[in-house]
Amino acid sequence: MPKIVTAQHRAGEAERARLYVKSRLMMPTIPLGMVALLTGYGGVVVAWLQEKLTPEVFFSSSILFVAGAAWGWVHAQYDRYLLNRYPEYLARKQKVLDAVKGHKKRTREVSSSGLNHPGRKLVLVGYIVGLASQFGLTVYFIGEVGVYAAVFLPWAGYFNAKVIALRDLLVG
């Protein structure tokens, strides 16, 4: 009997972790990606309407979008790694959010220290490098493509890459 209970418990944790990724990470990403995409390429359209759209501007806007998409894809792979290797961590986060939403008191104290896995410091360095490179690209291309395109195109690439990389979690 213990093996059946353990298997059902693990399946429930995996489903709760999947629900966390779907509801807390993916669902807000879709509208943010669309707003960033429309705003970023809206800046490119304004340049086109003002007859300032040159091949350099188009190439620069593509670099901004692709750089953001690369960062979003890497981040989505890390989310998938956490979902596959440590579903109990994400399930615990979903359980806390459900308890807060339902105004329930927690029966056990949940550790707020975070997940400790191999390469955790490397992930932190990855976040810093990703944000710094996105900021650097924005500052570098802001004069060429315009403020809106320079700020929003990397975020459009980031959010859209996350949605595409994790789309199977939204459907299934």
Contact 164, 75 (CB under 8 A): no
In tens, the pLDDT along 4-45 reads 555 555 667 888 888 888 888 788 888 999 999 999 999 999
Match 């060429």 to its residue by tokens. 144
In tens, the pLDDT along 61-73 reads 999 999 999 999 9
pLDDT recorded at residue 86: 87
Q: Mean pLDDT across the stretch 122-132? A: 93
Mean per-residue pLDDT over the chain, rounded:
85
Report the greatest alpha carbon distance in the chain.
Answer: 73
Please state the domain extents for the chain.
Answer: 2-171
Q: Which residue has the higher pLDDT, 85 or 93?
A: 85
Match 């003002």 to its residue by tokens. 50
Q: Which residue has the higher pLDDT, 147 or 95?
A: 147
- Which amino acid is it at 4? I
- Whether the model clears a pTM of 0.85, i.e. scores above it, the answer is no
With cut-offs at 50, 70 and 90, classify the pLDDT of residue 95: confident
Percent of the chain with pLDDT over 70: 83
SS3 58: helix
Asked whether the predicted pLDDT for residue 161 surpasses 90, the reply is yes
Tell me how far CA of residue 93 lies from CA of 1, 13, 17, 28, 114, in angstroms.
28, 11, 8, 17, 10
pLDDT recorded at residue 168: 85
Contact 102, 109 (CB under 8 A): no
* Token code pair at residue 76: 């989505």
Closest CA to 37 of 157, 166, 163, 165: 157
| Cα–Cα distance measured from residue 133 to residue 110, given in angstroms and rounded to the nearest whole number | 35
Which of the residue ranges 22-26, 35-39, 106-110, 140-144 would you say has the lowest mean pLDDT? 106-110
